[in-house]
Amino acid sequence: MTQRDLNYLLIALSLLSGLYVTVTGAVTDLFGLHQFAFHRYAGYLCAVFVLLHLVLQRDRVTAYLRGRLGRPRRQEVSAPPRDEGVRRGRRAFLAAALTGIGGFLLGRWLPLRRAVELPAEPADLGALYHQWSKPGYSGLSGVLTDWGSMPLPRKTYPAAPKVPLPDPRRARGLSLEEAVEVRRSVRHYADVPLTLEELSRLLHAAQGITEPRFGFRAAPSAGALYPIELYVVVHRVAGLEMGIYHYAPHEHQLERVQSGDFRARIVAVGIGQDFLGTAGVCLVLTAVFQRTRWRYRERTYRYVLLEAGHIGQNIYLAATSMGMGACAVGAFLDDAVNELLGVDGEQEAALYILSVGKRA
């Protein structure tokens, strides 16, 4: 291989690795990755090829720079005269060969999205969704779909009466290890109200702002987009009117959406699960899907459910740590719960209910 061949090879490799940097950069952006090894290595590789190329071309580079800086040009290193036709033929051959090799490598190694097949055995829509929402490089074509724009990052009820909550960080309870060890789903509650401090701490553990500079919260959220809204159906909290409240994490306050006794309604929408009416409060988690959808497209439904799980566990552990009991509820009449909260069930829908109360 002559030095000339090597030059062309390096140019081709630089271009190919540059292309790979671009593709992996797009993937990094598409999935909101904070670290993506392929992108990093592609960048290093590209830098090495470009550097090698510059080293081999140092005479030309120096001559060019000298010319640009106005110094007298050194005698050009003259290439031996060649037949132009032979040179073009060689270049064309090299370009074709490299394109072929590049195409083969990309086609062989890029994990293309598989065609979605219905599982042979009885499966539900969730199984199909799971297959369909797997990432692949060809999923980049999903970028062409209109997934809508970024909506408002949080919900507020400007006209609702506000209830400021006490500082949640003062209270102390069981350690994390103890809380994990003794946590159980508790469905029998004493007829004793929660204090406002206890409610404050529950809500802070669920969705409280723990890093005010960036608005980061107690539970993780894909892309820090926070699609989950939190409603509190208050049955028994000392000093708090019965009713349905919305939690505003940034102000750490409650917004009263409706006043009234909702014990019978929550049991009815909870398919007759009595403990929803005997708890001190029922926390209802909803998702505003578009907050995640504009960014994560078909991964949205996975992410909002996972986030609800994170929040649910924080609520369980906070309740346990304070000596109270909690129970997760996934079995409920969706439309009835959405109606109770006054959400439309499409843009925003209920995902999860957690009852919390003093242990009987």
Ligand X SMILES: Cc1cc2nc3c(=O)[nH]c(=O)nc-3n(C[C@H](O)[C@H](O)[C@H](O)COP(=O)(O)O)c2cc1C
**Which residues contact ligand X (rule: CB under 6 A)?**
184-185, 187, 273, 327-331
In the complex, minimum distance from the CB of residue 225 to ligand X, in angstroms, rounded to a whole number: 22
Q: Give 112 or 331: the residue with its C-beta nearer to ligand X.
A: 331
Task: List the end-to-end C-alpha distance of the chain, in Å, as a whole number.
Answer: 84
Q: Give 10 or 233: the residue with its C-beta nearer to ligand X.
A: 233
Neighbours of 49 (CB within 10 A): 20
In the complex, minimum distance from the CB of residue 229 to ligand X, in angstroms, rounded to a whole number: 18
Phi, psi of 359 (to 5 degrees): -65, 140
Query: How many whole angstroms separate alpha carbon 232 and alpha carbon 245?
Result: 5
In the complex, minimum distance from the CB of residue 285 to ligand X, in angstroms, rounded to a whole number: 11
Neighbours of 23 (CB within 10 A): 17
Q: Give 121 or 124: the residue with its C-beta nearer to ligand X.
A: 124
Q: Give 21 or 327: the residue with its C-beta nearer to ligand X.
A: 327
In order of 30, 97, 101, 103, the CA distances from 23 in angstroms are: 10, 22, 17, 14
Q: Give 55 or 331: the residue with its C-beta nearer to ligand X.
A: 331
Q: Give 14 or 313: the residue with its C-beta nearer to ligand X.
A: 313
DSSP 8-state secondary structure symbol assigned to residue 115: P
Residue nearest ligand X (C-beta atom):
330
Residue for token pair 């071309």: 57
Hey, which residues does 163 pair with through a beta bridge? Answer: 254
In order of 42, 48, 223, 296, 311, the CA distances from 304 in angstroms are: 32, 41, 12, 11, 11
- 83, amino acid identity: D
In the complex, minimum distance from the CB of residue 327 to ligand X, in angstroms, rounded to a whole number: 5
